[in-house]
Amino acid sequence: MLNIVFLDRASLPVAVRRPSLPHAWHEYDATAPQDVVARCREADVVISNKVVLNAEALAALPKLRLIAVAATGVNNVDLSAAQARQLPVCNIRGYAEHAVPEHAMMLMLALMRSLPAYRRELAEGAWQQSPHFCLFGTPIRDLNGRTLMIVGAGTLGQRTAALAQAFGMQVLFAERRSATEARPGYVLFEEGLRRADVISLHCPLNDETRGLIGAKELAAMKPDAVLVNTARGGIVDEGALLAALQSGHLGGAGMDVLREEPPKADSPLLGVQLDNLIVTPHVGWASYEAMSRLGEQLIGNIEAWARGEPRHLVG
């Protein structure tokens, strides 16, 4: 019988079926770092969405046989420590292939069409005072005919490209920053920064992408360009982004992720009211449909591993 422990069950607020195999199931809404080892000491399988499983914790869990990450990103697991003891780690893939691209497009549309500014002006009574039938305020731009550079050509990047093309956008995929030649349909990273009207991030957070968009990159972008991040917060330097928005050098930013989550009260992007900044609380993935697919895939990963057919292994 497998002993399965879900460390942060409240991070997946949909029904999740139990595995169709002999098991004992233990779940906790959330788990503090100091409680990880105690709660997992007898576990064969540990499920974690965002609870950190570092080298110290893994060393204290000799009975552990599988880590099932309830997300695509595996930054919360020390993969080197897991590999050193041949401990398999599996993750979730493709579950938000509609939810995240739709969220990215929503942010693009809202920023290009100045939705936050018009909502503010309406609340202030500006339309009622207009001499015209409509309110001419902040400039409105179409997506049609604009150039979108996508960083990350995986499932989410490809789906976003398809939606953008349906709006009439020209889509380019960014080569890795270190690349010196661009493949067909791709553009060198620095060239794309200069050409793009909109940049949408869909890449993982790793040593290569951490701080990928900083002051230098923002300075290279068009002054009216829009940046959308539905990937990971650490990819963007938040201080540099805020400075670019406040100085008028960047047209807008839509952020569904922040460097620290949940953010602290003094988080730089939450302490300002800017018409060209939209922050959503890491919910691009969280449609009912997407979360339900995640839950089914999570249990399917455990069942596949238990019958000797592991899938979605990381590393």
Would you call 282 a catalytic residue per the annotation? yes
In angstroms, the CA 34 to CA 40 distance is 11
Which of 103, 146, 282, 312 is catalytic? The answer is 282
- Positive/negative CA dihedral, 70, 71, 75, 79: positive
Would you call 312 a catalytic residue per the annotation? no
Would you call 98 a catalytic residue per the annotation? no
Helix (H), strand (E), coil (C) string for 8-56: CHHHCCCCCCCCCCCEEEEECCCCCHHHHHHHHCCCCEEEECCCCECHH
Which of 42, 56, 261, 289 is catalytic? The answer is 261
HSE at residue 185, side-chain half, CA atoms within 13 A, is 6
Which of 232, 259, 293, 312 is catalytic? The answer is 232
Cβ atoms of 90 and 311 within 8 Å: the answer is yes
Cβ atoms of 46 and 66 within 8 Å: the answer is yes
In angstroms, the CA 236 to CA 210 distance is 7
Complete edge-to-edge strand list for the sheet that includes strand 277-279? 186-187, 170-174, 147-151, 198-201, 226-229, 252-255, 277-279
Looking at the annotation, which residues are catalytic? Answer: 232, 261, 282
